[in-house]
């Protein structure tokens, strides 16, 4: 995962210095549609493969040429104790991911990724391995009709930190799952492109504090990442990975 404080500082300086596929054809959707308006346009194995390719980019033992297809406005939202918005835009995502692995090398040997017929189309339980120990994570991936990843959402696989309250709802399919990806206007249009200043986004954000926070951070990525890093404190990695006794 890309959430190390030293990475945030380095990147801020750098920025200143320089389920079955649907047989139905896609229909025209509102520019402000939610992700749940989309149906799979690829076979299940495609979504699983894309999720695994994402984890390959965070695994120093994986093929360095293995990478997923990102939307131009892909976003990564990592819930506390991680640093909220940790990637926004294709180039930013690739840069933050590469530097995360450079500063905090990891492998991802344990992966269980599955495809679903409703968004998020790919959902994974994985375990990162760092020098300090294992770090179990639950992660979800939203896709557009072109098969590009548009939104990544991640939680620590620790008691009280997952998005589902029902212990039997392992794959977050119940009605009470707390995820942001299905509340973001624009992720459900054909290209999955969001507009931070659209009327629908502003209206939804006025009624949804988490969405409003996402918009605020997306408008000032580097500044908000530094802010989140300072607020998280020195032990957020240990908290998120379950290393604290």
Q: Edge-to-edge strands of the sheet including 84-88?
A: 84-88, 70-78, 149-156, 133-143, 122-130, 107-115
pLDDT computed for residue 174 by the predictor: 96
pLDDT band with cut points at 50, 70 and 90 for residue 3: very low
Task: Tell me the average pLDDT across 201-229.
Answer: 97
Q: Among 10, 26, 95, which Cα is nearest to 57's?
A: 95
The yes-or-no verdict on residue 161 having pLDDT over 90 is yes
The yes-or-no verdict on residue 23 having pLDDT over 60 is no
Quote the mean pLDDT of the chain. Answer: 90
CATH 3.10.450.50 is held by the domain 5-241: yes
**Distance of CA 17 to CAs 7, 11, 79, 126, 220, Å?**
15, 10, 29, 35, 16
The yes-or-no verdict on residue 24 having pLDDT over 90 is no
Predicted structure pTM score: 0.89
Residue 208 DSSP class? -
pLDDT computed for residue 47 by the predictor: 98
Task: Tell me the average pLDDT across 49-69.
Answer: 97
Let me know how long the chain is: 245
Q: What is the pLDDT of residues 83-140, one digit of tens each?
A: 999 999 999 999 999 988 998 899 999 999 999 999 999 999 999 999 999 999 999 9
pLDDT computed for residue 185 by the predictor: 98
The yes-or-no verdict on residue 16 having pLDDT over 50 is no
What are the extents of the domains in the chain?
5-241
Q: What is the pLDDT of residues 184-200, one digit of tens each?
A: 999 999 999 999 999 99
SS3 77: strand
At CA 56, angle to CA 241 and CA 85, rounded to 5?
55
What are φ and ψ of residue 47, in 5° steps?
A: -65, -40
Q: b/e for 52-89, b at 16 or more Cβ within 10 A?
A: bbbbbbbbeebeeeeebbbbebbbbbbbebbbbbbbbb
CA gap 240, 245 in Å, rounded? 12
10 Å CB burial of residue 48 (0-12, 13-18, 19+) is buried
């Amino acid at each position: 995962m890309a959430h190390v404080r030293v990475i945030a500082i380095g990147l801020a300086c750098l920025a200143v210095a320089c389920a079955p596929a649907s047989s139905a054809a896609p229909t025209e959707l509102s520019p402000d549609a939610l992700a749940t308006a989309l149906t799979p346009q690829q076979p299940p194995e495609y979504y699983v493969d894309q999720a695994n390719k994402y984890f390959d980019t965070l695994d120093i033992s994986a093929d360095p040429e293995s990478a997923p297809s990102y939307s131009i406005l892909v976003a990564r939202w990592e819930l506390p104790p991680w640093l909220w918005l940790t990637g926004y835009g294709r180039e930013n995502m690739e840069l933050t991911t590469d530097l995360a692995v450079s500063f905090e090398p990891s492998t991802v040997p344990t992966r269980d990724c599955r495809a679903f017929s409703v968004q998020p189309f790919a959902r994974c339980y994985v375990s990162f391995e760092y020098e300090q120990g294992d770090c179990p994570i639950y992660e979800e991936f939203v896709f557009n009709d072109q098969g590009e990843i548009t939104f990544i959402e991640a939680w620590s696989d620790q008691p009280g930190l997952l998005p589902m309250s029902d212990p039997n709802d392992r794959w977050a399919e119940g009605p009470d799952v707390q995820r942001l990806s299905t509340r973001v206007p624009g992720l459900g249009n054909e290209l999955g492109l969001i507009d931070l200043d659209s009327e629908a986004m502003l209206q939804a954000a006025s009624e949804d504090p988490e969405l409003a926070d996402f918009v605020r951070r997306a408008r000032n990525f580097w500044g908000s990442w530094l802010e989140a890093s300072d607020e998280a404190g020195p032990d957020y990695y240990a908290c998120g990975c379950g290393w604290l006794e």
